[in-house]
Structure 1
Amino acid sequence: MSQKASPAAQGHNGGPPLDDLLPEWGEGPIGTYFSWKAAHRDAWKAIPMEIAIRRAHKAADLGLTYEEYTLEILERGRYLQAGDTKRIAEIKSRRAHDLME
């Protein structure tokens, strides 16, 4: 005796349930999710190549990644220098903490 799957209810395509899926903005209301997403995309793509190269070299000189150095500029408006040892150490310690999670 073979077992056949029960026929899907009328109006159902037989696919997986969608109740378990979490939308990309997470739980709760959508709020300003798409505005923030567009602003994030624009902040990371809208720079000339020369500036990106300069930031990459500066980040390497300070022992940071390009993303860490650029994020400091975007979040705080500060261009880190070699004398900013305390802030650079904070960024590096956060990197180590993020890797552990």
Structure 2
Amino acid sequence: MPGERFPGDNGGPPLEKPHEWGEGPFGNYFEWRTAQREARKVPYETMRRRAAKAEALGLTYEEYTLEILERGRYLQASDTERIIEIKRKRPLRY
């Protein structure tokens, strides 16, 4: 039964249901998480520059940084189509 505890149960997630790390080997989730954290470690001045650039473009720091990490592109004001595409992918707020 869901929520039922058995002797020796450590209270972890049930093994029958999908996990937050998705399909595939268990270790991949932690390797990706570690790699993502390492990629986001940048000097303070770089963070400030990116934050200012993101604000000028109407993006969040995360959106701007993700574009750099995923595509290797530093967006400019002339990249209006890509900026609009990024904004469209934002979750709706009610």
TM-score normalised per structure 1: 0.70
- Name the CA shift for 1:63/1:17 in 2 (closer, same or farther; >3 Å): closer
> Structure 1 residues 17 and 72, CA, compared in 2 at 3 Å: closer, same or farther?
closer
Paired with 1:13 and 1:40, the residues of 2 have a C-alpha distance of 34
Q: State how far apart, in whole Å, the 1-side matches of 2:38 and 2:66 are.
A: 13
Partner residue in 2 for 1:38: 34
Query: What's the Cα RMSD here?
Result: 2.8
Superposition pairs for residues 35-74 of structure 1, below 5 Å? 35-44=31-40, 46-74=41-69
- Displacement of 1:38 after TM fit? 0.6
Contiguous gaps of at least 5 residues in structure 1? 1-10
1:99 corresponds to 2:92 = yes
Q: 1:12 Cα deviation (Å)?
A: 1.9
Larger Rg: 1
- Residue type at the aligned position of 1:99: L
1:32 Cα offset (Å):
1.7
Moved over 3 A (4+): 13-24, 26-29
Matching residue's letter, 1:90:
E
